[in-house]
Amino acid sequence: MPAKMKQENNQATEKGTRISGAEALMRSLEHEGVDVLFGYPGGAIMPTYDALYDHRDKLHHILVRHEQGAVHAAQGYARVSGRVGCAIVTSGPGAMNTITGVADAMIDSTPVVVICGQVSTAMLGTDAFQEVDVIGVTQPISKWAYQIRRAEDVAWAVSRAFFIARSGRPGPVVLDFARDAQTGMVDYKPAQVDFIRSYRPVPTPSDDIIRMTAQMVNLSLRPLVLVGQGVELGNAREELRHFIEKAQMPAACTLLGLSALPSDHPLNMGMLGMHGNLAPNVMTNQCDVLIAVGMRFDDRVTGNLKTYAPQAHIVHFDIDPSEIDKNVRTTLAVVGDCKETLRRVTELIDEARHDEWIAGFEPYKDKERARVIEPAIHPTEGPLLMGEVVRAVSEASEHRAVLVTDVGQNQMFGCRYFQYSEPRSVVTSGGCGTMGFGLPAAIGATFGAPERTVCLFVGDGGLQMTIQELGTIMEQKAPVKIILLNNNYLGNVRQWQYMFFHKRYSFTPMLNPDYEQIASAYGIPSRTVIERADLDDAIREMLTTDGPYLLQCAVKEEDNVLPMTPPGGSVDEMLLEVE
């Protein structure tokens, strides 16, 4: 631990015992409450894996089949459990294979700690075998990246890493663990970092801001609340519900915030965004006060910023000050923990009714239901549709399963037509849009929420990006219910080619392998559904089968996700049909 950081190690009172840095890492992880690790061994991390061998009863290590899978699995674990996910890999290529996951966790505010092996300190900077400047690479895409060069720093660095990863706006932390720091000896004392003087994870807004916010809510005739993942991360579901119910304010959720408000809540108007629901998107441009809670006005939500809610006062609740005025100019910023700020504002707002305003959503809901939703989830003829598969799985699991998606049409149909009743029920790569995220993230979710059913919707493109993780599923008997929506296309890109590139299908049709044979090779039971009449029975079989299952659905090849705000378009100009 650097001398100047001594104030952070304020509870290191236990008498030390002399152990290796690798052993200190194991004890530090246990001290942080870690019991599941996703990893892959290699040269520079071998001393740590050797120490892990003696801790394998307490630290359940899941051997993934590629390091990218380790981070995505840690993300899936973190997203459903609310705990910090942990991945451990070797130096050089091992560390580089985690980069996509680290960037993904950063943009989606997911608390993970990635521990990478590194060459010995004497070899640093010499282009040694499997040496890569991991800190240089990961600093811009992580919340914190630190190189442990001495065994003495292990306890402090691990404690600091977990504190940073889980506090404030969560995010990924990378620890680059030099080999000689793993083998060096140290008088180990557990560390407890819970204060960093340069880091204020939870700002507190003034009473004036709270009062002004409440006043703005009270004066509003047409309020609309936008619910982001911050509500889930802040465990503020109840506070949000009280807030919107007290003043009867309609609300809509972002992709990552979908399970922050139950789907069947009467004030839930649906999903925001490019492929969200028509009513909340249109009404965004009709409300007088737009109240955003724990969301970041992503461009997929706002569409064209110039035409985004120009008529509205914007109130932004967020824990991260740098999100304020980043994309959308706010009238009032409530910077703090939304569990606390929502409670404080709710105390001051008046009970109110907005029946007429809420009734204004209905024509748009009816329009979308008739022209988009019903044809998508209850088709009567033609090939299977993604939407109907998603809704059927959701219903069969009584809307209580965890939804994991990959990226593309499977993601949009998945998030649109799945229904949510439990918190922390959506695991998807929102900001980064990482194809290949789904399968390893679903594995992680089964460890993070072992009591819940985990349903993964994945396309034939994304599945093949991390398909090797079927080996992890096989070995761990991870009960992932894989619903492969196979349309023999890279569907989302194909849709854009259809709509915006004159139907020139440049390298989006895809020749697929026999996925049932692949599943069989991994010992995973499977079934393929082609006919609509077989769907319910196949879903029942999947959900009642113990352990993993692959359900391949041969869906319409050229289906389109609708509605859609065209890129650069306004949120109130959604397309309900494709020309």
> Would you say 554 and 384 are in contact if contact means Cβ atoms under 8 Å apart?
yes
Q: Does 320 bind another protein (CB under 8 A)?
A: yes
Cis peptide before 203 (omega within 30 of 0): no
Reduced to 3 states (helix: H, G, I; strand: E, B; else coil), residue 265 is coil
Q: Does 501 bind another protein (CB under 8 A)?
A: no
Q: Does 195 bind another protein (CB under 8 A)?
A: yes
Q: Does 4 bind another protein (CB under 8 A)?
A: yes
Q: Does 326 bind another protein (CB under 8 A)?
A: yes
DSSP string, 139-170: GGGSSEEEEE-SGGGHHHHHHHHHHHHHSSS-
Q: What angle do helix axes 386-396 and 409-417 make, rounded to 10 degrees?
A: 40
Stretch that binds another protein, among 179-187, 195-203, 451-459, 488-496 (CB under 8 A): 195-203
Stretch that binds another protein, among 194-202, 395-403, 416-424, 458-466 (CB under 8 A): 194-202
Q: Does 310 bind another protein (CB under 8 A)?
A: no
16, 125, 136, 509: residue in contact with another protein (rule CB under 8 A): 136
Number of neighbouring beta carbons within 10 Å of residue 15: 7
How far apart are alpha carbons 483 and 492 in whole angstroms?
17
Number of neighbouring beta carbons within 10 Å of residue 2: 10
Q: Does 135 bind another protein (CB under 8 A)?
A: yes
Q: Hey, what are 554's tokens? A: 């041969």
- φ and ψ of 546, to 5 deg: -65, 140
- Could you tell me the smallest distance in angstroms from the CB atom of residue 191 to another protein? 16
Helix extents (H) in 248-295 = 278-284
- Could you tell me the smallest distance in angstroms from the CB atom of residue 321 to another protein? 6
Q: For another protein, how many residues bind (rule: CB under 8 A)?
A: 24
Number of neighbouring beta carbons within 10 Å of residue 340: 17
Q: Does 140 bind another protein (CB under 8 A)?
A: yes
- Could you tell me the smallest distance in angstroms from the CB atom of residue 138 to another protein? 10
Cβ closest to another protein, residue 4 vs residue 504 = 4
Cβ closest to another protein, residue 24 vs residue 164 = 164
Cβ closest to another protein, residue 2 vs residue 93 = 2
Q: Does 33 bind another protein (CB under 8 A)?
A: no
11, 17, 311, 322: residue in contact with another protein (rule CB under 8 A): 322
Label residue 126 exposed, middle or buried (CB < 10 Å: 0-12, 13-18, 19+): exposed
Beta-strand relationship, 172-178 and 144-148: parallel
Residues numbered 146 to 175 that lie near another protein (CB under 8 A) are 164
Q: Compose the 93-132 pattern: x for residues touching another protein by CB under 8 A, - for all others.
A: ----------------------------------------
Give the C-alpha distances (Å, rounded to integers) separating 173 from 73, 76, 307, 441, 483: 15, 16, 37, 18, 32
Cβ closest to another protein, residue 139 vs residue 520 = 139
Helix extents (H) in 169-307 = 179-183, 207-219, 229-233, 237-246, 278-284, 299-302
Q: Does 314 bind another protein (CB under 8 A)?
A: no
Q: Does 325 bind another protein (CB under 8 A)?
A: yes
Stretch that binds another protein, among 61-69, 304-312, 320-328, 465-473 (CB under 8 A): 320-328
Q: Does 500 bind another protein (CB under 8 A)?
A: no
Report CA torsion sign: 439, 440, 441, 445: positive
Cβ closest to another protein, residue 5 vs residue 543 = 5
How far apart are alpha carbons 46 and 52 in whole angstroms?
9
| Lookup result for tokens 């609708």 | 562
Cβ closest to another protein, residue 6 vs residue 58 = 6
Label residue 86 exposed, middle or buried (CB < 10 Å: 0-12, 13-18, 19+): buried
Reduced to 3 states (helix: H, G, I; strand: E, B; else coil), residue 112 is strand
196, 474, 499, 518: residue in contact with another protein (rule CB under 8 A): 196
Cβ closest to another protein, residue 17 vs residue 139 = 139
Cβ closest to another protein, residue 129 vs residue 195 = 195
Q: Hey, what are 160's tokens? A: 């600091």
Q: Does 306 bind another protein (CB under 8 A)?
A: no
- Could you tell me the smallest distance in angstroms from the CB atom of residue 199 to another protein? 5
Cβ closest to another protein, residue 7 vs residue 311 = 7
Q: Does 328 bind another protein (CB under 8 A)?
A: no
Cβ closest to another protein, residue 194 vs residue 537 = 194
Q: Where does this chain bind another protein (CB under 8 A)?
A: 2, 4-5, 7, 135-136, 139-140, 143-145, 164, 195-200, 320-322, 324-326
